[in-house]
Each structure stands twice: as structure tokens, then as C-alpha cells.
Amino acid sequence: MAIPAPSSRSLAVVARVQAALSAPGTPFAVTETPQGRRYANGPAVLRDVLEATRAHGDRPFLVLGENVYSYAEHYAAAAALAHRCLDRYGLRPGDRVAIAMRNLPEWQVAFWAAQLAGLIAVPLNAWWSGEELGYALDDCAPRLIVADLERVERIGPWLAARGADRPWLLTVGVTAAPVPGTERFERLPAPADGMPAPEVVISPEDDATIMYTSGTTGRPKGVAATQAAWCAATMSPRFFAATAVLTAGRQLTQATPQTTLLTFPFFHVAAFTTLFSLMASGSAAVLLRKWDPAVALELIARHEVTTYVGVPTTALGLLDAADGAQAALPSLTMISTGGAAAPPELSRRIARRFAGRVEARNGYGLTETCGGVIANVGTRYLEYPGSIGRPSPALAVRIADPSGAALPEGEVGELRLRGQAVFRGYWNNPQATAEAFADGWFRTGDLACVRDGEIYIVDRIKDLVIRGGENVYCVEVEGVLHDHPDVADAAVLGVPHPALGEEVAAVVLLRPGASADAQALRAHVAGHLAAFKVPAHVVFRTGPLPRNATGKLLKRDLRTEIAAELA
């Protein structure tokens, strides 16, 4: 994979700023422990994070439609529900609270109530079917489920099968109790003025969450993360935000609260990365019921949104909609993406569309790292959009060969991580946990290399195509295809070949009215990459490429389609 030589000047600025931010005695200083690097001055448990938001008082926190929920209202509701979990529902520290609903304010109340009560929050994918939800509920065995109408309907058979042994159910937007032991969120007593959180002993090593992986390669696994891991996750976005401010020549004292259009689903770790940053600065999150680019444009204009946050697919959709509507979006200052690999063209397109006024930002994180732990910010992202940037201070990075040995700079190997934000293991799955770690390092499954401290993701190990002994990194070819003006979306994967072992195939979605054919796209790739990387097959799709709820391509589905197409 061709990687441009870093600009020594801009790279030196970033390195110098980040070294100063994480020096001893600073807010982002770290200490070395037997378990890896840890922040020396960060919060100890998530309860500390929520308590700090009380200083924001009546500032807006969550905005949905005409309803605005202040930080004070959110804290009061979370504290009241935490008491109810312990006193009414009889939950005890360590019990699980499953949350299954759309991006509603009650979602955040339920999550933070669990943290105040010393419970384990279990965010469930709101797009899952009843069968998928039932699988996760069986796995985590919650004592309380908080769900909206759609999810209540989907888990109805699961609840009925439990009989009297079912957990408590707290509903949102449901008018009738579906089963005994149900309460309605709307009927809960109003929070008492000044009610403190329950007095519960919470340890940094206690589990805070179980978050299920997206399940693109099999049954979802429950990622169990501790309070300490999540507290590290609250520090990383603040560190990267400070990096962006200082490298732009501004002062941290000039930073003001922002208004962010948050399109990540709350059950995804990228949403937490965004919310933690907002909660630290007293900023507001504007929510929308489901992704709609036209609605997104309207919300940006109405609320004078300064930051757009979402997966690369929705960011591209927003740009398409803005171009079609000739929307100026004068309040917008940043478009930040995560959750899936961003095509290099995205940052360049943002720069062109807004004449350099809007900053592009991209990050890397996994469910197993509690969200974003590596980021490329400021002008560095525009200069080197193929880089995911530099790691947060409490994260150690190793590029390893198959034996686990560290590889020298510039060589491609598996990205392995170690540090405070890394999860402790998979819930009820010791075998998967053992396979995920090697000598204390978490095996991400991503192929990467490091140059001058910056990390470049090359591909997923399982997506690597080996064509006649030559490695073809799908992400690289996808990036070149995305650069073609007629291409709206693209996926590259390997298909069997009797002599070569595998050859390269591309599935392409063209923009409306585009006329590029397979020959033109192959010629475009050939103009940028070696001949062995040029797709032997180009299959055109008339509808969106299959992706999961967090924007990741479902290549197993595409392999089935291509096999049928090429048969």
C-alpha cells in the first residue's frame, strides 16, 4: 500500500502539542501500570463524569423535536431512576439493565441511572429482530429492560416465554402494559428537587457495560468493559479536541460550547465518544428519529448546528443533499466521522464544498476499546486522509507479525492495542476472550502500519485478497473507486480463481445519472494502482450496498451476490 511521506512541519506541530498535553502534571498525563497505561488525573468511575455535568445547570443537553432536556433535568431524572432501580425493582450492584430503543432522551436517562446505581448497562441494537434481541437477552440475563414501543413488540414472545420469571419492564411510548411487572416511563414520579444519587460503592474495576458486537461475522459477542475503561474513553475525545484547537493556533480558553447533530445510534460506541465530549464542555446534542438527509439539513439550519457527527455513509449523504439544495450551512464548522472506514475523498470533498471553512475529522475505535482511541484531526487529516492519526495517551500500539513479534516502522501487520480503554473480555465467553488477547495485547483483526507515529489502517485481515501470491488490500482499492466522480459507493472483495487462488472483484453503486461502465472504472483504478490490484470483475448494484446499523459493509452478503452473478 502506497503511503505518502508525512509533512515534517505539520507532523512536528501535532507531536509537540500532544506531548505537551500529556506531560506529567497535565490533565492527560499517564502512568504505567502492570495492566498498561492509565490516565493519572481522569475520573475513577462514570458516576464522577455525570456528577461533573451538574455544573452545566440549565444548559441544553438533548434536543429532540421541540423538546429540550437540560443537564439539570437529565441528572435529576437519572438519579431518581437509579433510586427506583434499587428500591422498587430490587436490583443490586452488578445486575444488568438492558436498553432497547431509538435515540430518545430516556435512553440516556436509563444508561446513566444504571451507572449511578452500580448496575451494568446493556445497550442493545435497536435494528435487531426479535430473535436477535432474544439471543442477547438470554446471554446477559437482565433484571430490568427499558424499551420503546417497537422493541417491546419485538421482545413480546421472549417476555411471554419467561412467565413469572421475566425481568421488570420499563416502557417508553407504550400506552398499555404488555406483561405484569411493567411500568411506564411517562408515569414515573417526578424527580424530587435536589435528590442526590444513591450511595453505592462502585469500583473502577467493576463492569459498567456489556455492548454487543455488530455480528458481521457470526453471533454477536458481549463486550464487557469496566468503569475504568469507560473513564479512559471519556478522556480521549477531549484530548483530540484539545489537539485540534492548539494545532490551529487557538487557545483552549477560546473554546465554547457547541451544538452537535448526532446521528450515531446510542447503542454504538461512537455515540459515546461524541457524548462524552459534549458532556465535558456543556454542549448540546440534536437528535433525529431516523437518518434522513433532508431532515438533517433542516435541523442544522434550525438549531445552528456547529458539528455534524456520523458514519462516513451519512456524511456523504449529507454533502449530496447540501449540494442538491445549494445549502450554505453557515453555522457548520466540523464534520466528524467514525464507525467505519472513511474514503480519502471525503475530507477533500468537505474542504472543497466549504472552501476550507469546515474541518474534517476522523477517528478509529472499536466496541472493544469503548470508542475512539486514535484520531486524525485538523489540517493533518486533510493532508493525509489515509491516516487514522495518532493514539490517545493511555493507549500503546503494536504492529505485530503472526507470531506476535513487533514489526519495524513501515511494515504491515496486525494492529494490537493495550491500555486503559481496552475491554476486559467477552461476557460468558472465555474461549473468545482468550483468542482476542495475546500476551496482554488486544488483537484488533485490522492490518496496519505506522509511519512517524501515525497509523494507517490497510485492511481487515479477513478482507485481504491474496491474488497469485500478491496482497491486495481492499480498502485501498475502495478508496480509489470512491475518487471516481461517478461512484456513490463501492466494496471490494476476493472471489475464488482456479489458478490465482483469488482475484479482485468490486461491487459498485453509481450516482444518479452516471454512465461509467466496468471498463472505465478498471481504467481509473489502473491509473492509480498496480495492475494486479485492478478488479477483474465489476458488478453494478442498483440499490444501496448492504451495511449494518453502524455503517460497516456486510461483505458476506456481497460475496453471495457476486457468486450468483458470476456463476
Q: 3-class secondary structure for 513-542?
A: CCCCCHHHHHHHHHCCCCHHHCCCEEEEEC
Higher confidence at residue 477 or residue 560?
477
CB distance 125 to 222 below 8 Å: no
- Percent of the chain past pLDDT 90, that is, above it, reads 68
State the amino acid at position 181 in one-letter form: G
Question: What tens digit of pLDDT does each residue of 225-268 get?
Answer: 999 999 999 999 999 999 988 888 888 877 788 999 999 999 98
Question: pLDDT for 339-362, tens place per residue?
Answer: 777 777 888 899 999 998 999 988
Residue from 493, 487, 453 nearest 475 by CA: 493
Residues of the chain with CATH 3.30.300.30: 464-566
What is the pLDDT at residue 557?
82
31-35, 301-305, 333-337, 397-401 — which is least confidently predicted? Answer: 31-35
Cβ 293 vs Cβ 318: under 8 Å: yes
Q: Does domain 8-44+226-460 have CATH number 3.40.50.720?
A: no
Whether the Cβ atoms of residue 305 and residue 65 lie closer than 8 Å to each other: no
Mean pLDDT for 542-563 is 81
Q: How far apart are CA 534 and CA 510, in angstroms?
A: 18
Instruction: Write the CA distances from 542 to 323, 508, 517, integer angstroms.
Output: 22, 9, 13
For the cut 50, the answer to whether the pLDDT of residue 5 exceeds it is no
pLDDT tens, 153-173? 999 999 999 988 999 999 999
How many angstroms from the chain centroid is the CA of residue 225? 15
Strands (E), 101-188: 120-123, 144-148, 168-172, 182-184
pLDDT tens string 95-153? 999 999 999 999 999 999 999 999 999 999 898 889 889 999 999 999 999 999 999 99
CB 362 within 8 A of CB 347: yes
For residues 121 and 114, the answer to whether their CB atoms sit within 8 Å is yes
Give me 230's grid cell. 469507560
Indicate the average pLDDT of the chain: 90
pLDDT above 60 for 3:
no
Task: Provide the CATH number for the domain formed by 464-566 in this structure.
Answer: 3.30.300.30
Q: Is the pLDDT of residue 6 over 50?
A: no
Q: Which helix (H) or strand (E) holds 489?
A: strand 487-497
Residue 40 has pLDDT above 90, yes or no: yes
Q: Residue 4 has what pLDDT? A: 46
Mean pLDDT of 461-466: 78
Residue 9 pLDDT class (50, 70, 90 cuts): low
Say which CATH topology domain 47-58+70-202 has.
Answer: Rossmann fold (3.40.50)
Other Cβ atoms less than 10 A from the Cβ of 117: the count is 28
Statement: residue 8 has pLDDT above 60: no
223 Rama sector, left if φ>0, alpha if ψ -120 to 50, beta otherwise: beta
Give the per-residue pLDDT at 1: 44
Task: Give mean pLDDT, residues 190-202.
Answer: 91
What integer is the mean pLDDT of 433-444?
95
**In the predicted model, what is the mean pLDDT of residues 176-201?**
90
CA 469 to CA 70: how far, in whole Å? 58
